[in-house]
Amino acid sequence: MRIALLGGTGDIGEGLALRWGVGTDHELAVGSRDAEKASRAAADYRETIAERGADATVVGASNADATEGADVVVLSVPPDHVVATIESVADTLADGAIVVSPAVAMARDGDGFHYDRPETADSVTAVAARAVPDGVAVVGAFHNLSANRLATLDAPLGVDTLVVGDDEDAAATVADLAEQIEGLRAVRAGPIANAAEVEGLTPLLINVATNNDGMHHLGVRFE
């Protein structure tokens, strides 16, 4: 499977690339608005993966070139870049491709972080679903993970990721990809209509981590 990580030079993109790189044989394409930056990041990821004794295919390219031929496209970009990123790769998104949105919109004040519901939809996942071309499914996943913990291969995960999607087959595919990462369990949370509740967990986790010692890389596990 070819997985494109758009904005893949950031923390969440790095973490997913490294975890899939050491644990699977998927072809990984790291995308960026700056193709040279993506190529440098891909080289760094390959080196880290090779140090773990794995041989992964990790290439760097522009977002559009990374998307070309991808089965799954992860929007590893800030929430306010989601629509623009989708629009920039719309011509290269294959019919039947799956777009994954892990972005969470948050605001911060003196009390901490708060969920910042988008103006045009109930959630960032729903914003992405409205922006993709016909024939492309959107799934929300990886919202509540600590990006630093994900990118630190020595750090055990032992956490869950909630998966939302209106297309059952697409959601199942993303859940399976999530569980190919050691220590990560996918838990289905229903359709995209439930994405706001899922995304809203992220500022809560950050606030808990900020206010308690030893919880810097906090995650969730449902028992």
Nearest Cα to Cα of residue 171 among 146, 194, 148: 194
- CA–CA distance, 157 with 159 (Å, rounded to integer): 5
- Arithmetic mean of pLDDT, 103-113: 95
pTM confidence score: 0.94
Hey, what are 156's tokens?
């055990």
Residue 220 belongs to a domain: no
Residue 216 belongs to a domain: no
Report how many domains make up the chain.
1
52-66 pLDDT tens trace: 998 899 999 999 999
Nearest Cα to Cα of residue 170 among 139, 129, 128: 139
Per-residue b/e over 61-76, b at no fewer than 16 CB within 10 Å?
bbbbbbbbebbbbbbb
Residue 219 belongs to a domain: no
Residue 13 belongs to a domain: yes
151-185 pLDDT tens trace: 999 999 999 999 999 999 999 999 999 999 999 99
What's the domain range around 114?
2-210
CATH of the domain at 67: 3.40.50.720
pLDDT at res. 214: 82
122-138 pLDDT tens trace: 999 999 999 999 999 99
Contacts of 19 (CB under 8 A, 6+ apart): 150, 153, 181, 182, 184
